[in-house]
Structure 1
Amino acid sequence: MAMEATTVTRELIWRRVMDELGFEHARVRRGQEGTELSGVVLVAEQGAPLRAEYSVVCDDAWRTRRVSVTQSWRGERRTLALEHDGEGHWRKDGQVAEELEGCTDVDLGLSPSTNALPINRLRLQEGATAAIRAAWVRFPALEVVPARQGYARVGPARYRYESLESGFNALLDVDAEGLPIEYAGVWRRLAEGPAAPASVSQTFVDALMSAGPSKELGDAAATFGWLVGGWAGTIQDHDADGSVRQSEGEWWFHWVLEGRALQDVFIVPSRNAPAPSGPGANRRYGTTVRTFDRTTGKWQITWVSPTGGAINRLAGGREGDRLVLLGEHHGKPIRWSFSDIGPDRFTWRGEVQDEAGQWGLQSRFDMRRIA
């Protein structure tokens, strides 16, 4: 679901009065197809700064559909992506999340804004109550667990929230859009007003990038989904005369096009490295788009390099503990493969086949995760 034809955009700031250790700056975008809540939460967590950026996209009935969270805490950056079909079926980071079956809303444990989701979805009459099952995101663990919650409308603009498991309850005074003004004893709104239009560059990024893989990909999303994030490492180019050229590079991956494709940006040398010089220097700046072909069961890969003038197309997938992609460049078979795959590392090898059918190494990238 795209957030197009935006008609209302607001910004709000809350302070966590419970302990005076946090703030949230949120943005609300409402359009013909639904609502997006997004924002940044800054809190002191166990004596360390914690920053959480989030986006929650709902359909026009306020049903949670897509959630993305990026958390930075104690030198570590972690991400979370949730998808909901609107009927109680969830995916977490591209995988079926059976433990969340039947959950109707997401509840970000650090944010008061997500209380607006069940309030607007349920639209309780004054005096009415409802019990829900929410996908509760716990920070800083970034775990998602089902949570039984209750909402009661006790006044024209007042609700009582209750955790049906712990017994915690609090009164919420809300505005016309169900967004908390006073979350008694926990959060208090400090400011609200119209938001400035997003920049053209940010609008483009929002249109391109996706919180996670589309459910259409199913289990195939896991083939390359582990790459999402940032990588840096050593790049070696092996020339025909046996010489090796080496430099440092960076590689960034993200889901795009409503999660139907995975795109990367590959940069050599790294932006924080000295510019290369001389005719033999390594220099790459390009992008790859990966899409899954259900008819063949293979991933289709298109690499575009404006600096080198190359456009390569390959296809393949998992072979044992490697990812192998085959294609052709200047009439010669080429093979790209990911090996030595771990949670924070991988090796990428680029090879070309000679007339005798032997594979020769042209490039080797040893990468480590940085985000």
Structure 2
Amino acid sequence: MGIGKDARRLGPAGFLLLACSSGAFAQSSVTLTGLLGAGIGYTSNVGGHSNIYEDSGILRPNTLSFQGKEDLGGGLKALFYLGTLFSMNTGGILGAPGSLFSRESYVGLSNPYGTLTFGQQRDFTFDTLTVQQYAGIFYEGLYGAHQGPFPKFGVPYVIGGSYDFDRLNGEAINNSVKFKSANFSGLTFGAMYGFGGVAGHFGNSDSSSFSVDYEFGSGGVAAVYTMAKSPTNDNGNAGIRNIGVGGKYRVEAFQLAVLGTVSHNTGNGAQIDAVDTTASYDFSPFWNFATTYTYMDGNAVLDSAHASQVDATLTYQLSKRTSVYGTYVWQHASGPGALARINSTQTSPSSSDAQTMVGISIMHLF
């Protein structure tokens, strides 16, 4: 999800990169940033057995990113971003096979009115609803994303069929062009289109995302629409449509946020409606506690399964760059044969209608 605001300039390798580029050094910059996190996780029931394991990227994914800007004059800037996801436990790159920059990779231009970029980019479901703290996953991370007892929902290329079904955990769209406006007195908006690349069938396997967000002094409201088709869903003619609407309000150290999402598979007719209610409290500049209650409801295609989930995360900042945290998640599933399944790296659901996960980890930004 997010990248640390603190970054340092590249060392000798950075200067070599700059030496190979054109333009004045004084007007250009390249930075290397990263986020490293790992810890111990416990799951009460994975296919009928409890499990204790080392887990990485619980609250935020492990990332290594290169990003750069060049001042072109007159308020116009060129920019790029190359980011990869990896496992702290194995060192392996995460994402599609053969993908080097599996987080995002884009290049573009910005001016005082907005930013236009081209490449592989996350849609506005993540950029707006998660990053702007409408979704509980902002505090709970991977375990707090939505999955549940919906194996027939049909999210492509994922284990369990419903991993992050409403895209709040941050899914990238290939071959995309994206515009995000500047902030106009609290109002931002954006539009995005991902080309399917199928000759003779312009709309086949394409994707689109739209967002509007209004932030005022003590809160905000936002709405997002995302449609992502897949070659595996009705030969590229269908996909997963997500609609999310959220609101938040802060009173001093306390913030309350409510988010509703509707996720619909246009290929098989499956639909999941979900509602998040998140409360966050800053006990001090170093301590934060956040808890989220989520209700997920599947339609008849999903055997009318539904689930309740409670998440809680306590975070302590050791410094601006290093923090430790503990996460607790409990899910209860209901419906004919419904098996609880918390969103995680575990490969099997619970063998019953309940599942609990606990994680303790350290996270460092550079």
Q: What TM-score comes out, normalization by structure 2 length?
A: 0.31
Q: Which has the larger radius of gyration?
A: 1
Q: What TM-score comes out, normalization by structure 1 length?
A: 0.31
- The structure that is strand-richer by fraction is 1
Q: Relative contact order, CA 8 A, sep 6+: which one is greater?
A: 2
